[in-house]
Structure 1
Amino acid sequence: MSINVHISIDMEGVSGVVHTDQTGQKGYDYNMMRKAMTLEANAAIEGSFEAGATTVVVNDSHGSMRNLLPYMLDQRAELISGSPKPLGMMQGVDDNSDISMCIGYHSRPGEKGILSHTIRGSSVVQHFYINDKPSSEFEINAGIAGYYNVAIGMIAGDSDIVNDAKNLIPNIIGAPVKATINKFSAKNLSGNETFKLIKNKAIECVENYQEFKPIKYKTPVKMSVEFTSDLMADVVSFIPGIKRESRQVISFESQDYIEAWKCMYASILLAGIPY
């Protein structure tokens, strides 16, 4: 029996990351932390194969989505890199995946957690809503995976997103690699302890992958975005089907979750263009 594993890896939830200077390509510490990101991916890959995975696909899910170091990445895995991608942080989950994992994840705006934000950060997106509920990238991505009947069985990141994920998926396997102090500080596990934790939790996830259930949001699904400025909402409102909820909030409703997601994702990308 084959087991195909999908891994979505972000950067803000990687152990040691506490500031945007570490996550942006122009930051002084960026090159060091992209290596840490790659090593955390490797820990999940190693655990997956040790537990019996047939294939592992890793989707680089941070910023430009060109952060993972291809020649440092475990060569047994396939890498999806670059952006934009239709499924964003979950690209590849629709390709016969049996289970998905989220590594390096973080909380949504307004919640305690390291570098909390949603998709494009506070310069563009203030809040993202699913059926009028403020939602994190994890919650959005759980719906994308669920659309393709794939469950998310593991999450690694700061203590707050791990706890928050359990509200949506009670039996999800959590790997908290750092304890949040505030948005820009944390108590981090050492590198070795981080890799050991992620590997062991990945093993547990793959060995029990059939125990997890895909997330299916109520339809019709309504997705909304609160932008940072009126102008962003002005421009996005040109798109047919978009509803203007208020000066900075737009929404789109559909019977199809992926249709709603693609509309919101395209809207966020459009809003982020300087005018």
Structure 2
Amino acid sequence: MTRVLISADMEGVTGVTCPDDVEPGTASWERMRPLLTGDVNAVVDGLLAGGASEVLVNDAHYTQRNLLLENLDPRARLLTGRHKPLGMMEGIALADAVVLLGYHTGAGEQGVLSHTYLGTGLTAFRIDGEPADEGRMNALIAEEHGVPVVLVTGDDLTCEAAGAWAPEAGVVAVKECVSRYAAICLPPARSAELLRAQAMKAVRRHRVRSEHPDSGTPHVRGGSARSHRFELDFHAPHLAAAVLAVPTVEPNGPRGIAFTAPDATTAARTFKVCTSVAGAAMEDHFD
């Protein structure tokens, strides 16, 4: 039995290039919801064709109510809505493998709609001294649960970045970055072909590694916790100062903070608190 979790973000899906495309309530967002659902359905189809027994889709973008349930592949299940304990990675405890779909590069990096937790003033993010983004952070949570990332989809720069934090995962670039708000995009029919094919290969590769350890790095259920140091740089000093109210957080330069956590899950939760505090400290007309 191979259970797969799809953590579905939106910035990295087919056709998405501008803020309105991912802003709930806009006409562009409504237009892009079927494309997001289409990318998910293509991956679901490929996973099941490759031998997955179950697929759970976690709607992981913004309000986490973006996917069209009525258009979702009926063989999958959808985890929708906010305030999930593990956020984008909720459901990882029920999975044997995970797909990071529609992901993007981080704050301060090149890439279509690059950012790390919008509305927080973040300009850079590092984990253990390495440039980080939401993908790297979520991959560490998966690793801690003993669940490998088997596929990453997004623009070409996201796929390139994934080589550093999910080196054994397959990748699918559904668009090529031209600028933060422009890309060369594949039509949905073409991206669906690529997504389905790579999802099928990803789950087959995972099953071979699980059943025949000599064929490559084996998947061993049950991860191990290790400490991580997170560093966050903000665009204004008052945001860093506000975040110092969070326990375990220390100053790290004039506009930065840092903290060390005993495991990836605790680090990610502390990160969420820090960014929430920073977001609340933003001023509408002077930030």
Q: TM-score, normalised by structure 2?
A: 0.88
The answer to which structure has the higher helix fraction is: 2
User: Residue 213 of structure 1: CA displacement?
Assistant: 6.5
User: Residue 8 of structure 1: CA displacement?
Assistant: 0.8
Structure 2, unmatched stretches of 5+, are 210-216, 283-287
Q: Secondary structure of the residue that 2:93 maps to in structure 1?
A: coil
Change (3 A) 1:89 1:197: same
Q: Determine whether 1:245 maps to 2:252.
A: yes
Q: Which amino acid aligns with 1:136?
A: D
- State whether residues 108 and 117 of structure 1, in contact with CA within 8 Å, keep that contact through their aligned partners in structure 2: yes
Q: List aligned pairs for 1:21-170, cutoff 5 A.
A: 21-95=20-94, 97-120=95-118, 123-170=120-167
When structure 1 is superposed on structure 2, of 166-175 and 57-66 the one drifting more is 166-175
User: Residue 99 of structure 1: CA displacement?
Assistant: 0.7
Question: Equivalents in 2 of 1:213, 1:234: separation in Å?
Answer: 44
User: Residue 218 of structure 1: CA displacement?
Assistant: 9.3
Q: Secondary structure of the residue that 2:92 maps to in structure 1?
A: coil
For residues 241-273 of structure 1, give each alpha carbon's deviation from its aligned partner in whole angstroms, at most 9, with x where no partner exists: 111213321121122221121111121122212
Q: Secondary structure of the residue that 1:200 maps to in structure 2?
A: helix
Question: Equivalents in 1 of 2:121, 2:86: separation in Å?
Answer: 19
Question: Equivalents in 2 of 1:217, 1:172: separation in Å?
Answer: 20
Structure 1, unmatched stretches of 5+, are none
Question: Equivalents in 2 of 1:178, 1:86: separation in Å?
Answer: 31
Question: Equivalents in 2 of 1:49, 1:115: separation in Å?
Answer: 30
Instruction: Show the counterpart of 1:227.
Output: 234
- State whether residues 4 and 97 of structure 2, in contact with CA within 8 Å, keep that contact through their aligned partners in structure 1: yes
- State whether residues 20 and 27 of structure 1, in contact with CA within 8 Å, keep that contact through their aligned partners in structure 2: no
Question: Equivalents in 1 of 2:131, 2:259: separation in Å?
Answer: 15
For residues 112-164 of structure 1, give each alpha carbon's deviation from its aligned partner in whole angstroms, at most 9, with x where no partner exists: 2101111225x532222101222011111110100101110111111111111
Change (3 A) 1:274 1:111: closer
Percent identical: 31
- State whether residues 114 and 185 of structure 1, in contact with CA within 8 Å, keep that contact through their aligned partners in structure 2: yes
- State whether residues 107 and 122 of structure 2, in contact with CA within 8 Å, keep that contact through their aligned partners in structure 1: no
Question: Equivalents in 2 of 1:213, 1:38: separation in Å?
Answer: 31
Question: Equivalents in 2 of 1:26, 1:264: separation in Å?
Answer: 27
